[in-house]
Chains A and B, each alone.
Chain A
Amino acid sequence: MSGLSMFYAALLYVAAGVLVAGLAVKIRQYWTTPAPLKIAVTPAPTTQAGAWLRVGREAVLFESLFYSNRWLWIFAAAFHAGLALVLVRHMRYFVNPVPEVVVLAQPFGVYGGMAMVGGLLVLLARRFVIDRVRYITRPSDILMLLLLIGIGVSGYGMKFANPTDIVAVKAFIMGLYVFDIRDLPVEPPLLAHLFMVALLMIVFPFSKLLHAPGVFFSPSRNQADDPRERRHLAPWAAKLEG
């Protein structure tokens, strides 16, 4: 067992811990903060089930963005759908035996990675080319895109430029589950890839990546349009009742 393996094992444990605990804290915060008024943007569904369907369309189809900015929608969708495929493809490193669906997804995952990196490159270019977007861009917005692009490019580095012993990688990961630190292949693309993934996991609960859980808590989208039919009263507002 090398020092490098120890370092990466520790890094991934910390990253996973920060990701899970950080998200738990934020989701709890979003969940428990009251929404004192009905503020659904209308026309809105009149039932709660309808409102969740609306949120589902936002989360899966990016419905509002589709009507807002078609070009942005195309590249945002390419990135996110690509990322989803890549994540499914990567399941093979995390579960044993590998489910049939993950096996079937393998070739698509490669294209998914291309869509992901391609989408990200356009999203990055927008931040320099469009004056309005340049104005609202903070350094962290660019670093976040570079981090994701770095993860994608280092992934391809393993696949095409510097083939990695993925059997050993899987053994390393499966070992982490049982606190058995096995040897990680010393391949620069792999080490860079894992390092950046760990960084992304650590950054996640402290950054704008909170849009992923946050979209489900947006009152303008997840509320039913029924204020005349049902009286809505937050606990702190109830205390003001005379």
Chain B
Amino acid sequence: MALKPVAPALDDLPTVPSLNPGVMGGLKSYVAVKAHQEPLGFPGELVENWEQAAVAKMGELLGKYKSLRVYLDICVKCGACTDKCHYFLGTGDPKNMPVARQDLMRDIYRYYFTPAGKALGGLVGAKPWTRERLDDWYNYFHQCSQCRRCSLFCPYGIDTAEISMAAREIMDSIGLGQKYCNEIIGKVHKIGNNLGLPEPALIDTLEGLEEDVKEDTGHDIKFPLNVVGADVLLVTPSADFFAEPHVDGLIGYAKVFHQMGLSWTMSSYASEAGNFGMFIGNYEQMKKISMRIRQAALDLKVKRIVFGECGHAWRVAYAFLNTLAGPFDFLDPKYPVPQHILELTRGAILSGALKLDPSANADKIVTVHDSCNIARATRMGPEPGSQFFYPRDVLKAACPKFVDMHPDTTHARTFCCGGGGGLLTDELIDLRIKGAKPRVEALKQAVDQHGVTHMAAMCAICKSQFTKVLPYYGYDMGMVQSVHQLVSNAILLGGNS
């Protein structure tokens, strides 16, 4: 009996709900079947001795990850994180409090790995495996978007994302994977992107875009694919090829490259910026996906790699790519590897190479949603905090009216959109709507007080999530704009074409 999901009533900021134990306990994303599991090297179904296998895997990970090793020991249960997670704020389910989510693993860890747990058991919260606890793991570790807001506020920096990644890795290893993530990773290995768009479909799409843009602007803006010898390889989330408003962002990147006179290309082999290997906490998968980008850069003989608008993709690119697929000594050392498209666009605006006419966006009052992964795991320029002011500089150049949302919900304190971390799947829509609540409350405040009409986003998942859930709260999906869509509107073309 599927009820139509309903958005909760919005509160003023900030509101901490009272506890509603178990309210999200039954929400379970689809479990991966053999066809999703086996291509990634995971068992096709739950193995018979899963308890021992899970303990063995946990032991392996404790030796490989300092984060897990330290974070499972040192939490003092102070409760500072308990009111920081958007999924808790939206649902009231206590197991969505970061510390309680961690404790699902910590209780098991205590039982099998610590002298105190072995000697004192329940007194220190140690609990052995049961099927019920494994189900809690599956359901609640797939109600974490790995956004790290809790880690920001934790006095020890305990990062629930590290715990949920390890939990998913353990579950994959015993045959209890999540369909959404593992099916998508399989598509990347097989086809080159999350959406499974093969090369002919990409060519077709990009040709269509060239025609559309020519019709709109009168300029021959190219969307090059697989051009050997181009200077720049653009790697962008595959949603940019057709989803709204993502594709308008892609048009914006193309106009920026065109106007800067840069020779650039995309790759069909590495036609995906996203890397769901991170969501499942699997280093090998994350590396394998990243190596496609290295390979494409080598094959196309480019000098630079630039990433399009995507949050977790930029985390993997900025923070992990050099580790996973480096060293990039074959690229031009003048540029950071990789670069974010906003680094190019902002630089070109400041240098005068790009001219924007903000009156093109005069009908809008724009705010911006800081993507969690960009805000709390990356930079864009040389300075800490550039991940915040680079997009704002560009938006202010492109839009006459820009306002920020409440400071408790922006910059490093930003809330996840509610759909990150491998949760952007239809069967989790109830969680996605409720998880967006804190962000929508801040948006509502900006709408009511400042007349905000549009919210710019710089992540494929954020864009997909907001266009889907904002209507549940009574807002139009067209409120959501790509940052480069607003650039695209305002850019003055010509001069060097």
State whether A217 and B66 are in contact (beta carbons under 8 Å apart), knowing that A65-B80, A135-B97 are contacts in the complex. Answer: yes
A231 to B326, CA, bound (A): 7
Taking the closest CB of chain A, its distance from the CB of B491, in whole angstroms, is 27
Verify if B1 is at the interface (C-beta below 8 Å from A): no
B327, closest chain A residue (CB): A231
Count residues of B near A (Cβ-Cβ below 8 Å).
73
State whether A68 and B80 are in contact (beta carbons under 8 Å apart), knowing that A140-B124, A218-B158 are contacts in the complex. Answer: yes
State whether A65 and B155 are in contact (beta carbons under 8 Å apart), knowing that A133-B82, A208-B76, A214-B73 are contacts in the complex. Answer: yes
B74, closest chain A residue (CB): A214
B103, closest chain A residue (CB): A136
Identify which of A5-13, A30-38, A167-175 touches chain B.
A30-38
Verify if A94 is at the interface (C-beta below 8 Å from B): no
A214 and B156 contacting across the interface, CB-CB below 8 Å = yes
A214 to B77, CA, bound (A): 14
Verify if B323 is at the interface (C-beta below 8 Å from A): yes
A68 to B98, CA, bound (A): 14
A214, closest chain B residue (CB): B74
A68 and B153 contacting across the interface, CB-CB below 8 Å = yes
When distances are taken between beta carbons in the complex, the residues of chain A under 8 Å from B385 are 43
Verify if A207 is at the interface (C-beta below 8 Å from B): yes
B287 and A240 contacting across the interface, CB-CB below 8 Å = yes
B156 and A232 contacting across the interface, CB-CB below 8 Å = no
Taking the closest CB of chain A, its distance from the CB of B61, in whole angstroms, is 10
Verify if B3 is at the interface (C-beta below 8 Å from A): no
Verify if A45 is at the interface (C-beta below 8 Å from B): yes
Verify if B131 is at the interface (C-beta below 8 Å from A): no
When distances are taken between beta carbons in the complex, the residues of chain B under 8 Å from A211 are 74-76, 156
Taking the closest CB of chain A, its distance from the CB of B477, in whole angstroms, is 30
A231 and B75 contacting across the interface, CB-CB below 8 Å = no
Q: Contact mask B1-45 → A, CB, 8 Å, 1/0? A: 000000000000000101101000000000000000000000000
A-B contacts counted at CB < 8 A amount to 209
B66 and A64 contacting across the interface, CB-CB below 8 Å = no
State whether A227 and B320 are in contact (beta carbons under 8 Å apart), knowing that A39-B159, A58-B157 are contacts in the complex. Answer: yes
A83 to B363, CA, bound (A): 60
State whether A30 and B162 are in contact (beta carbons under 8 Å apart), knowing that A68-B154, A206-B114 are contacts in the complex. Answer: no
Taking the closest CB of chain A, its distance from the CB of B333, in whole angstroms, is 11
Verify if A187 is at the interface (C-beta below 8 Å from B): no
Verify if A96 is at the interface (C-beta below 8 Å from B): no
Verify if B292 is at the interface (C-beta below 8 Å from A): no
Q: Contact mask B149-169 → A, CB, 8 Å, 1/0? A: 001111111110010000000
State whether A30 and B69 are in contact (beta carbons under 8 Å apart), knowing that A39-B377, A139-B123, A232-B322 are contacts in the complex. Answer: yes
A69 to B80, CA, bound (A): 6
A30 and B153 contacting across the interface, CB-CB below 8 Å = no
When distances are taken between beta carbons in the complex, the residues of chain B under 8 Å from A29 are 69
Taking the closest CB of chain B, its distance from the CB of A224, in whole angstroms, is 10
Q: Tell me the chain A residues, 1-53 only, with Cβ under 8 Å from chain B.
A: 26, 29-30, 33-46
B384 and A43 contacting across the interface, CB-CB below 8 Å = yes
Verify if A220 is at the interface (C-beta below 8 Å from B): yes
A132 to B158, CA, bound (A): 18
Could you give 5 example pairs across A and B, Cβ below 8 Å? A65-B155, A138-B77, A141-B77, A206-B115, A218-B158
Given contacts A132-B16, A218-B157, A220-B148, 12 further A-B contacts (CB under 8 A): A36-B283, A42-B387, A64-B153, A133-B82, A139-B122, A211-B74, A211-B76, A215-B156, A220-B158, A220-B162, A228-B322, A234-B64
List of 5 A-B pairs having minimum Cβ-Cβ separation, nearest first = A214-B74, A43-B384, A220-B157, A68-B153, A138-B125
